[in-house]
Structure 1
Amino acid sequence: MDTLRIFSRAVVTPDGQRSAEVVIEDGVITAVETASGPSASALDWSGETLIPGLVDIHTDNYEKHYQPRPGALWDAYGAALAHDAQCAAAAITTVFDSLSLHGSKDGLNRRDALPPMIAALDAADADGALRADHLLHLRCEVTNPELLALLEPHVDHPKLKLLSVMDHTPGQRQSANTSRLQERLVAAGRSEAEIEEMLARRHAGRDPSVAADNRRKVVAFAREFGLPLAAHDDASIEHVEEARDDGCAIAEFPVTLEAARHARGLGMAICMGGPNFVRGASHSGNLSAREAAEADLLDILASDYVPLSMLRSAFMLTDRFGWSPQKAIATVSSGPARACGLTDRGEIACGQRADLVRVSRRGDGWPVPLEVWREGRRVA
């Protein structure tokens, strides 16, 4: 049996931050022993913080590597490797690759991209080439007439661990304020003709008449296969009530404080975006993740589109919002893990996977991951 010991004066456990030595055997934590200094055989991380590996349940990052520029597709296997390396370097040891089952983004045809992207992840995983543990989160756009045809081939995939229901039709939920969307596009230098074309593309391929039936069938799939379900961009009490009735366990990126508060009252875990938190505002003009934190309505932080935002957000919660280390770190580790039914990771505690991160604080309080370990093996 292989035994590894790691000492730190700042080990973040579920009970608080303390000086301790973490004992690892065959990739699993077997003891967390209070200690004032390292034993003879231990790795000495005394100057840095020791936290559990991060669990990211929503990221668009893989798409950015598959299509690094509009119209320029990259090799899917290489994209998977690049995306994986970026996640591991950001302290993420479990990542839910969040693939959208609708339309196009920056010219990427998501329908055509879905099979090769999933196949590449499977191939890289089979080759032992991935540093993080990659799972699937399929994002179900309910107004897409092709939704079920896209979902059904993958609904029994062994890596599929999360489904979400969403509707990005301009004029509601995330995009309720279309004038603000137009203002952002103008600020980005888009012409009036370009803006009209972009809005037209957002409406293209949508059929509101299929939304209710599609949503019912996605909910049925989630129940049949025992998959957790997230509700995306809920804006009103009515939206949240529908999500509760559907069995949604996660309120993903609620766009109003009212929706977030009602979701909490119904027992749903509230997930916000790390970039939103670090920037201090939603890029869509919706609920600020910092406002959610101030109202104590924040259970999960996801990377969304910047992997490193999760680690930065967690330490900002302790530095600027007064959260305890264990509560802040839980938003990026045990919080997302438990919401998705993963009970074997997310904490520095006996019986948990030895997914660990050695964190050093640098300029402006930035947390820098010096070492990242997955199941007792260093991966970054």
Structure 2
Amino acid sequence: MWLSNFTLVLPDEVVERGSVRIEDGVIAEIRPEPVKIATFDGGGRLLMPGFVDLHGDMIEREIAPRPNATMPIDFGIHELDKKLAAAGVTTAYAAVSFATESVYGHVRSLETTSAVIKGLRALRDHLLIDHRVHARYEITNVGAAPTLERLLNDGAVDMVSLTDHTPGQGQYNNIEAYILSMSERRSMSREAAEEVVARRIAMRQDPDIEAKLRDIVGLSLKHSLSLASHDDDSAEKVAEMHDLGVTISEFPVTLPAAEEAHRRGLWTLMGAPNALRGQSMSGNLSALDAARAGLLGTIAADYHPAAFVPAIFKLADVASGGLPAAVAMATANAARAAGLTDRGAIAVGQKADLVAVERGTVHRIRATFRGGRIVYSDGTLHPLAAMAA
């Protein structure tokens, strides 16, 4: 199958009116000109690799869209699958949490998280895109360690991140702001919020934290999983995580943390919504500032997968390397950070996971291909044979 007359975003260049031949779900040939016999004519639209999302929180909102309104997990997975395909995501790591003290409550309980992972595994071969599991281990929640260890040994997890949301550091370094936020989000009194914050700070003193942390890290490395740290707020924190075996620094809070991650060869991951908006929703490091400084390695959906395309164009304006470099942040770089070498680039031998994008005031995804098969279309990209008929 030929995809012809597309503007190809290749690893190091953009080729106008190029063509890609797909065989058995893999890119077999690339030409710098249109071909006569093609299945699809792109009409000059951009063709990018499918996005590889290493951190997406969206499954929680599909199974619990409102407080006390829980949906069936398999239903939520299928709904998320459609939305991700429409956003150009072809490989998605569902970031599921073991954090019972989270503001999200039962959605991040051991029981719900285990059920979500079980559902993803059971449905994986029946979904539009490639779904994987990113287990977020809240290091103060030592009671979750046995469950995560079992899942790791069962091969049910594809990536692990180490999170520490203890108030007073990381993302929540401003305790007063955190108390106000918790009071609003949980609809509780200030006094009740202060009690929760005090309890969470006290949890950090648990003597079992370090031992359990090293157990989880050891198992993750034993199974050759990519390991990430979360919300690094200082060079010292990055150094500590690097020494544990971490290779990804996701959502660094400060510029010094991002600089240290870059210096040590870690992949620096930030949110596509941050890049699109030009700022962090928490007032932390801007993804655009990180890109300008040459520190940004990859972007993730975080909480809004539709942000990928507009974020790429924002990053293309500020990052060295222009559009190919910005696209790589959502594709090749993310794939390599996760240890995936078979996808992420328009290159011979790579999976034919592709996204057709039409530029405009609002850039639009017109079609998404996974393994050469259309998994999303808005109806504007038609097979030429069908049009001729």
TM-score calculated relative to the size of structure 1: 0.92
Cα distance in 1 between the residues matched to 2:282 and 2:196: 16
User: What percentage of residue pairs aligned between the two structures are identical?
Assistant: 37
Aligned match of 1:124: 123
1:8–1:49 CA contact under 8 A, matched in 2: no
Q: CA RMSD in A?
A: 2.1
Equivalent residues, number: 372
2:52–2:90 CA contact under 8 A, matched in 1: yes
Aligned match of 1:251: 249
1:165–1:218 CA contact under 8 A, matched in 2: no
Uncovered stretches (5+) of structure 2, i.e. residues with no partner: 377-389
The Cα offsets for residues 56-77 of structure 1, whole Å up to 9 and x where unpaired, read as 0001100111111112211000
1:50–1:356 CA contact under 8 A, matched in 2: yes
1:181–1:284 CA contact under 8 A, matched in 2: no
Cα distance in 2 between the residues matched to 1:306 and 1:204: 33
Further displaced range: 271-280 or 57-66: 271-280
Residues 78-97 of structure 1 aligned to structure 2 (within 5 Å): 78-97=75-94
- SS of equivalent residue, structure 2 residue 158: strand
Aligned AA (1:125): R
2:133–2:157 CA contact under 8 A, matched in 1: yes
Residues 2-41 of structure 1 aligned to structure 2 (within 5 Å): 4-19=1-16, 20-35=18-33, 37-41=34-38
Asked if residue 223 in structure 1 is aligned to residue 221 in structure 2, the reply is: yes
- SS of equivalent residue, structure 1 residue 146: helix
Asked if residue 295 in structure 1 is aligned to residue 298 in structure 2, the reply is: no
Q: 1:202 to 1:274 in 2, by over 3 A?
A: farther
1:100–1:141 CA contact under 8 A, matched in 2: yes
User: Which one of 348, 372, 376 corresponds to residue 372 of structure 2?
Assistant: 376
Asked if residue 141 in structure 1 is aligned to residue 138 in structure 2, the reply is: yes
- SS of equivalent residue, structure 1 residue 138: strand
- SS of equivalent residue, structure 2 residue 142: coil
Aligned match of 1:324: 322
1:71–1:107 CA contact under 8 A, matched in 2: no
User: Which one of 347, 357, 360 corresponds to residue 359 of structure 1?
Assistant: 357
Residues 135-284 of structure 1 aligned to structure 2 (within 5 Å): 135-158=132-155, 160-182=157-179, 184=181, 192-193=190-191, 195-196=193-194, 199=197, 208-284=206-282
Aligned match of 1:47: 44
Further displaced range: 206-215 or 369-378: 206-215
Aligned AA (2:241): A
1:311–1:332 CA contact under 8 A, matched in 2: no
Cα distance in 2 between the residues matched to 1:329 and 1:201: 43
Q: 1:201 to 1:361 in 2, by over 3 A?
A: farther
Uncovered stretches (5+) of structure 1, i.e. residues with no partner: none
Cα distance in 1 between the residues matched to 2:60 and 2:68: 12
Q: CA deviation at 1:111?
A: 1.3
Q: 1:201 to 1:273 in 2, by over 3 A?
A: farther
Q: 1:88 to 1:204 in 2, by over 3 A?
A: farther
The Cα offsets for residues 114-138 of structure 1, whole Å up to 9 and x where unpaired, read as 1211122122224x1x111001111
Cα distance in 1 between the residues matched to 2:295 and 2:38: 43
Cα distance in 2 between the residues matched to 1:246 and 1:263: 13
Aligned AA (1:283): M
- SS of equivalent residue, structure 1 residue 116: helix
Q: CA deviation at 1:320?
A: 5.7
Q: CA deviation at 1:252?
A: 0.8
- SS of equivalent residue, structure 1 residue 160: coil
Further displaced range: 278-287 or 66-75: 278-287
